[in-house]
C-alpha cells in the first residue's frame, strides 16, 4: 500500500453516581476517531458516546453491561481515483472518461455497539475478566452508490461484528505484574485472533514509575512487540505490528506502529472502597 492508513483518536471515560447506587455505578465516556487511507483519501470520522452500568455481585464479582452510539462520516476524493476503463494501454489517465460514477462520495450514518463484561477478583493479587460485544448492531448502510445490488454481492450494509475477549492481571510479587490476554473477532467471512500479554515492572518501589514490555501475535498476520513507561498517573505506550504474512510485499513499511498516551485518575472519596481500583497494583 503506497499510502498507509493514518488513524488518530481521543477518548475518555469516568465513573458517575458512585455514591448514589449501592454496590454499583455508571460509566460515561466519549470517543472521536479519524482515519485516512489510500491514494483516494478515503476519510472516516466517528464520534461516539458510551454508557455502561457496573454492578458488584458480592465482594469479588462484577457484572457490566454497556453500549455506545454515535455518528459516522465517510468521504472520498474522487479526483485521485483511477478506474479500469481509464487505462490507455500503458498508463491510467484520470482525464479519460469513466463509466464508474460515485453517486454520493460523502455519506453519514448512525452506528451502535453493545457489550457485556464479567470480572472476578478474589484477592488483591488476581483480577480475571472476559466479555462479549456486538458492533454495528443496527447494520448501517455504508455505500457511495445510491442503488446497490445485493444479488451481485454489493450489499452496502455493514455486517455485524462479534467480539469475545479474556484477560487477567496477576501480581507475582512487589516488583512484577503479568497481564495475559486474548481476543477473537469475526464479521461476515473474516476473522481475527490475537493473543499475548505484557509485564509491568516496578522501578520505584511505590509503583509511581513502571516499565512495561509485552509481545502479542495476530494469527497468520503479525507479531506485535510493545513497550511502555508509567510515571505516576501517565502511561506512554508504543506498539509495532511487524507483518509476517504475504501482505508485507504490499506494505512499504513492513508493518504499522502506534503511540498511545493515557492518564488514569481515581476519586479520593472512595477511602478504601474496592471500586476505586480492583486490579492488582504496586501502590498501597
Give the range among 58-67, 160-169, 252-261, 272-281 with minimum mean pLDDT. 272-281
- Let me know the angle formed at the C-alpha of 282 by 280 and 284, rounded to the nearest 5 degrees: 95
Going from the C-alpha of 171 to that of each of 12, 179, 202, 275, 284, the distances in angstroms are 26, 9, 11, 18, 13
> Which grid cell is 25?
455505578
| Mean pLDDT computed over 111-116 | 98
Read off the pLDDT band of 271 (50, 70, 90).
Answer: very low
> Which grid cell is 124?
488483591
Read off the pLDDT band of 246 (50, 70, 90).
Answer: confident
Residue-wise pLDDT for 92-110, tens only, equals 877 777 777 778 889 999 9
Buried (b) or exposed (e) across 210-226, using 16+ Cβ within 10 A? bebebebebeebbebeb
Residue-wise pLDDT for 128-144, tens only, equals 999 999 999 999 999 88
Going from the C-alpha of 263 to that of each of 17, 153, 284, the distances in angstroms are 21, 45, 19
Read off the pLDDT band of 277 (50, 70, 90).
Answer: low
Mean of pLDDT over the chain: 88
Amino acid at each position: 500500500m503506497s499510502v498507509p492508513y493514518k488513524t488518530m483518536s481521543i477518548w475518555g471515560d469516568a465513573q458517575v453516581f458512585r455514591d448514589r447506587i449501592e454496590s454499583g455505578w455508571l460509566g460515561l465516556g466519549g470517543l472521536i476517531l479519524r482515519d485516512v487511507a489510500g491514494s483516494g483519501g478515503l476519510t472516516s470520522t466517528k464520534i461516539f458516546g458510551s454508557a455502561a452500568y457496573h454492578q458488584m455481585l458480592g465482594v469479588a464479582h462484577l457484572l457490566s453491561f454497556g453500549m455506545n452510539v454515535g455518528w459516522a462520516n465517510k468521504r472520498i476524493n474522487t479526483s485521485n481515483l483511477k478506474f479500469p476503463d481509464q487505462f490507455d494501454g500503458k498508463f491510467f489517465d484520470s482525464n479519460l472518461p469513466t463509466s464508474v460514477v460515485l453517486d454520493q462520495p460523502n455519506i453519514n450514518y448512525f452506528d451502535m455497539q453493545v457489550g457485556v463484561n464479567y470480572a472476578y477478583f478474589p484477592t488483591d493479587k488476581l483480577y480475571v475478566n472476559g466479555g462479549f460485544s456486538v458492533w454495528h448492531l443496527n447494520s448501517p448502510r455504508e455505500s457511495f452508490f445510491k442503488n446497490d445490488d445485493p444479488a451481485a454481492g454489493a450489499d452496502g450494509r455493514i455486517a455485524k461484528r462479534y467480539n469475545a475477549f479474556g484477560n487477567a492481571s496477576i501480581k507475582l510479587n512487589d516488583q512484577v505484574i503479568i497481564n495475559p490476554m486474548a481476543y477473537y473477532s469475526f464479521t461476515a467471512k473474516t476473522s481475527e485472533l490475537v493473543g499475548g500479554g505484557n509485564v509491568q515492572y516496578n522501578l520505584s518501589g511505590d509503583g509511581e514509575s513502571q516499565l512495561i514490555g509485552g509481545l502479542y501475535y495476530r494469527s497468520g498476520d503479525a507479531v506485535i512487540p510493545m513497550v511502555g513507561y508509567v510515571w505516576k498517573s501517565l502511561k506512554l505506550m508504543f506498539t509495532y505490528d511487524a507483518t509476517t504474512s504475504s501482505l508485507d510485499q504490499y506494505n512499504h513499511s513492513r508493518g504499522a506502529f502506534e503511540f498511545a498516551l493515557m492518564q488514569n485518575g481515581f476519586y479520593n472519596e472512595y477511602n478504601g472502597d474496592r471500586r476505586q481500583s480492583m486490579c492488582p497494583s504496586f501502590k498501597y
